[in-house]
Structure 1
């Protein structure tokens, strides 16, 4: 199978495992027969991010059920006839420091946060690098855009 799909990349804080649980819940609303890494999910509240291997890397795949799993094997990360397709989250945990000189491009509804954070430095002791692989480019595909929106929204603990 050829590698397909579109990667949207993030650097996220240590809340990633909890955000992933919320992301699974959001996906389950879209796909009641959700399969994660090819397995059914009994209760998303009980689901936990798989323990990473020694290199702290992991992958979680998402599909709507057995039919999409078969479609995936044949077509890779692509949209099916319903305009939906499988996707995956690739992640790597980092326990060393991350320093950035300047934070820019803040996106929030709170102008006070923008004023407080824009242009500051960033210091993190533990973080994850994450690639969300969707069937198409979210800038042009509504389904892929909805998946990215759900992922980003999963970091909002007020929802």
Structure 2
């Protein structure tokens, strides 16, 4: 399947697995007939859901796909990442664990709910012992599409970053 959607890319710390469980649960609340990986899931099976380990062969070897049900799965097969007649569409999270350290000399563009915390981090260095490279692929650009913006907001909030961030964050 060719990736036709909009990619929002992130570096996420070791909390990613827990955040993804939160994100999956949020999507199930939006879509009670949620399909993950092209298969239906229910609340009971989601209680035990955990992020599958990524294969180390590719840049993004782990993937979790989301759709509202079989009708959207069929739509996805024909149209790729696109909005359907209801203004919703399939989306995915691609991820790869990088078990080596990551450093940045200076963090800029910090956003968050607590202005004091933002001020403390802005301009500081970044040191992570390991991290996940993550790409959220939505049907459209979240800056212009309400559905894609909602998916992005759910993802960011699941990571624990709060809702005061803009759609491009």
What's the TM-score, normalizing by structure 1? 0.94
Residue 48 (structure 2) aligned to one of 46, 49, 52: 46
Which sits farther off after the overlay, 17-26 or 45-54? Answer: 45-54
- Report the CA distance between 1:55 and its aligned residue: 3.3
Provide the rounded CA distance (Å) in 2 between the counterparts of 1:48 and 1:17: 7
Unaligned runs of 5+ in 1: none
What residue number does 2:91 align with?
87
Aligned pairs (5 A) from 1:45-124: 45-55=47-57, 57-124=61-128
Find the residue that maps to 1:17 and give its secondary structure: helix
What residue number does 1:24 align with?
24
What's the TM-score, normalizing by structure 2? 0.89
Provide the rounded CA distance (Å) in 2 between the counterparts of 1:158 and 1:140: 20
Residues 92-148 of structure 1: per-residue CA shift (max 9 Å, x gap) = 100011000101111111111012111000000110000000000001000000000
Provide the rounded CA distance (Å) in 2 between the counterparts of 1:158 and 1:115: 16
- Report the CA distance between 1:52 and its aligned residue: 1.7
Find the residue that maps to 2:29 and give its secondary structure: helix
- Is the contact made by 1:41 and 1:47 (CA closer than 8 Å) also made in structure 2? no
Unaligned runs of 5+ in 2: 164-169
Provide the rounded CA distance (Å) in 2 between the counterparts of 1:2 and 1:94: 25
Task: Flag the 1:9–1:66 CA change in 2: closer, same or farther, 3 A.
Answer: same
Find the residue that maps to 1:7 and give its secondary structure: strand
Which sits farther off after the overlay, 2-11 or 28-37? Answer: 2-11
Find the residue that maps to 2:8 and give its secondary structure: strand
Question: Over the residues paired in the alignment, what is the CA RMSD in angstroms?
Answer: 1.7
4+ runs deviating over 4 angstroms:
none
Residues 17-65 of structure 1: per-residue CA shift (max 9 Å, x gap) = 0000000011001100101111222332211111222437201100000
Provide the rounded CA distance (Å) in 2 between the counterparts of 1:145 and 1:39: 24
Which sits farther off after the overlay, 137-146 or 111-120? Answer: 111-120
- Is the contact made by 2:113 and 2:162 (CA closer than 8 Å) also made in structure 1? no
What residue number does 2:37 align with?
37
